[in-house]
């Protein structure tokens, strides 16, 4: 994490400036003696979500390479300037414990986990057979994200015992904005209960479906209030994902990236998932207290499917 921080610009979110004076976008280009390059980008999450960020960078690269020129109408006249009728502004709760900075976090640890692509694929196939065998809704099968989330969540449940909205209608690829929704999955653990991955995968899938249904109804404000009460009464772990976004499709003329990472996200008990460089595995940044992380890394589900802070081999 310390090395990664040297390659990205300081986060505008941590600035002492008034929010109206902070940069919305910061870019840092790093050049190495061997000719390699690393580009660090920091967006304001208030104006762009993961999809908007990566499509913005992908389109910027296409413009730089001349794939798109000034005469191309890349928006096809489909520009929505006011989407408040679709997404009315609301005051969301603030459930996260914010970490001021990685350096000052003290007892808080950031770990990068790499979930092996073959193991994840095999587990996904196994989970789908179990889900289908129980007559589960075949329209919502397990995904790489769902399986990896269940493993991460299950390990967290185990150690805790000791001490978008999905948009089904495809957005325009050049849309800008910050659209997010909470999908809540709950697990009550008795003293001797076994934590089954298939059950956790089922809960993740059900939560994603429920989140989508709530967004299409008038129940979303009540749903937010219920979640706020849940955060007050129990320990929560937050997962988010950029899996499936064009992270490895950005090309400014020097070729596509050989490795990509997100972070640091200054949130406690949090994980963000992204695709590995081969497009099949999952990388995850996990943030929690050191005493929890020491136990977390020893959980069988993590040891069996993931490697902790593996070296990044970049071949030429």
Residue 223 lies in a domain: yes
Backbone angles phi, psi at 125, to 5 degrees: -60, -45
Residue 32 lies in a domain: no
Rounded to the nearest integer, the mean pLDDT of the chain is: 74
Nearest Cα neighbor of 301 from 154, 163, 188 is 154
Residue 166, pLDDT above cutoff 60: no
pTM above 0.85, yes or no: no
230 or 264: which leads in pLDDT: 264
Residue 39 lies in a domain: no
- State the CATH number of the domain containing residue 212: 3.30.559.10
213 or 284: which leads in pLDDT: 284
- For residue 236, the enclosing domain spans 45-308
Structure confidence by residue, pLDDT tens digits, 283-314? 988 998 899 999 989 988 889 889 988 887 65
Residue 140 lies in a domain: yes
Structure confidence by residue, pLDDT tens digits, 29-70? 999 998 889 999 988 877 788 888 888 888 888 888 888 765
pLDDT at 103: 47
pLDDT at 29: 93
Residue 170 lies in a domain: yes
Task: Count up the domains in the chain and report the number.
Answer: 1
97 or 270: which leads in pLDDT: 270
Residue 151 lies in a domain: yes
128 or 192: which leads in pLDDT: 128
Residue 264 lies in a domain: yes
Residue 101, pLDDT above cutoff 60: no
Residue 146, pLDDT above cutoff 50: yes
Over range 261-266, report the average pLDDT. 75
């Amino acid at each position: 994490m310390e090395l990664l921080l040297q390659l990205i610009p300081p986060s505008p979110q941590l600035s002492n400036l008034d929010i109206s004076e902070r940069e919305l976008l910061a870019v840092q280009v790093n050049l190495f003696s061997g000719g390699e390059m690393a580009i660090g980008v920091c967006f304001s999450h208030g104006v762009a979500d993961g999809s908007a960020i990566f499509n913005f960078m992908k389109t910027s690269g296409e413009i730089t390479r001349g794939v798109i020129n000034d005469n191309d109408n890349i928006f096809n006249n489909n520009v929505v300037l006011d989407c408040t009728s679709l997404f009315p502004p609301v005051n969301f709760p603030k459930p996260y414990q914010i970490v001021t900075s990685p350096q000052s976090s003290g007892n808080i640890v950031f770990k990068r986990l790499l979930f092996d692509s073959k193991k994840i694929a095999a587990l996904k196939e196994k989970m789908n057979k179990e889900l289908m065998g129980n007559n589960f809704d075949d329209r919502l099968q397990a995904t790489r994200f769902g399986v990896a989330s269940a493993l991460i969540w299950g390990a967290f449940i185990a150690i805790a015992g000791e001490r978008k909205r999905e948009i089904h209608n495809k957005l325009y690829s050049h849309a800008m904005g910050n659209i997010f929704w909470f999908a809540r999955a709950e697990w009550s653990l008795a003293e001797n209960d076994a934590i089954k991955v298939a059950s956790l995968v089922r809960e993740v899938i059900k939560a994603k479906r429920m989140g989508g249904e709530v967004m299409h109804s008038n129940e979303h404000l009540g749903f937010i209030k219920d979640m706020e009460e849940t955060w007050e009464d129990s320990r929560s772990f937050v997962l988010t994902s950029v899996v499936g976004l064009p992270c490895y499709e950005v090309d400014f003329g020097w070729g596509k990236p050989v490795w990509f990472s997100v972070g640091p996200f200054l949130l406690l008990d949090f994980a963000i998932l992204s695709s590995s460089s081969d497009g099949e595995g999952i990388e995850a940044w996990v943030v929690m207290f050191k005493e929890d992380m020491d136990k977390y890394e020893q959980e069988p589900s993590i040891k069996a499917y993931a490697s902790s802070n593996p070296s990044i081999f970049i071949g030429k």
